[in-house]
Amino acid sequence: MSGSLPYSGVRAILLDIEGTTTPVEFVHEVLFPYARAKVESFLENHREAAASDLELLRAEHERDVARGEQPPAWHPVSYVHWLMDRDRKSTGLKSLQGKIWEEGYRCGELRGEVYADVPPALERWREQGKRICIYSSGSVLAQKLLFSHSTAGNLTPFIDAHFDTTTGPKEEIESYRRIATALSLPTSAIVFLSDVVAELDAARAAGMKTGLCVREGVSEFSEHPAFTGFDQVEITP
């Protein structure tokens, strides 16, 4: 994983967040606990703003019961906690979390963390005329908040598009085809960088180029080229 990792024919770079642009610890030890602690008060004070999320969550709860999942009896706070305990990639949950985090960023209680190599890479790729996009399980709102309130400043001017679970699950091939269609690009002109092999498998099956981000430790075996920092990712003509 030393040296550069060259990619040719790339017109857009699609980035995962957790473990790729942003430390896993920030997500799991800062963002998730913050949302968990604030969800009850947020729903009490912003019921109308959360109405669409609650509709999605209630429908998801009904599906869980029908499948025999045994969630707690319907109560928004209890169910949100139950979903978070399972790290469920729930659209309703992710949308609600984003709105809770929005308050935290705006009042200064939260600041987004990115790895030190991320800002210069975004600048380098933008200077090369490449489109930079984000694809995360976190809502588009949560993504924009993290990058606009980052410890490195506002990074959103470098980012052209955001995709979340409304596009589709990150481990499904069709999700990556939808992203390519939204960007009006062939999948072969896009490179997806993530720390999750199953996501990269789906992207590659859709026709995208891929790169496995290994920030710490040893990566699981995969056929995807691996790198430890964005300074190793070289986009060539």
Q: Give rounded-to-5 percent helix, strand, coil for the chain.
A: 50, 15, 35
Distance CA 11, CA 144 (A): 22
Question: Do residues 132 and 217 share a domain?
Answer: yes
- Does the structure show a pLDDT above 80 at 93? yes
> Which residue, 56, 83, 106, sits at the end of a domain?
106
Question: Do residues 100 and 121 share a domain?
Answer: no
What band does 1 get if pLDDT is binned at 50, 70 and 90?
Answer: very low
Percent of the chain with pLDDT over 90: 93
What is the pLDDT averaged over residues 101-107? 96
Question: Do residues 16 and 93 share a domain?
Answer: no
The pLDDT value recorded for residue 220 is: 63
What is the pLDDT averaged over residues 92-107? 96
Q: Residue 133 to residues 46, 60, 164: CA-CA distances in angstroms?
A: 30, 29, 11
Question: Do residues 190 and 231 share a domain?
Answer: yes
| Average pLDDT value over all residues in the chain | 95
The pLDDT value recorded for residue 55 is: 98
> Which residue, 106, 140, 163, sits at the end of a domain?
106
Q: Which pLDDT tens digit goes with each residue over 184-226? A: 999 999 999 999 999 999 999 999 999 999 987 656 668 899 9
- For 45-59, 157-171, 217-231, which range has the lowest pLDDT when averaged over its residues? 217-231
The count of domains in the chain is: 2
Classified as helix, coil or strand, 153 is strand
Question: Do residues 119 and 90 share a domain?
Answer: no
Question: Do residues 94 and 137 share a domain?
Answer: no
The pLDDT value recorded for residue 221 is: 67
CATH code assigned at 215: 3.40.50.1000
> Which residue, 106, 141, 173, sits at the end of a domain?
106
Domain that holds residue 83: 27-106
Question: Do residues 35 and 90 share a domain?
Answer: yes
Question: Do residues 91 and 119 share a domain?
Answer: no
Question: Do residues 12 and 39 share a domain?
Answer: no
Q: Residue 117 to residues 20, 31, 124, 152: CA-CA distances in angstroms?
A: 11, 21, 11, 11
**Which among 45, 43, 42 is positioned nearest to 58, based on CA atoms?**
43
pTM metric for this prediction: 0.90
**Which among 184, 181, 224, 223 is positioned nearest to 16, based on CA atoms?**
224
141-154: b (≥16 Cβ within 10 Å) or e = bbbbbbbebbebee
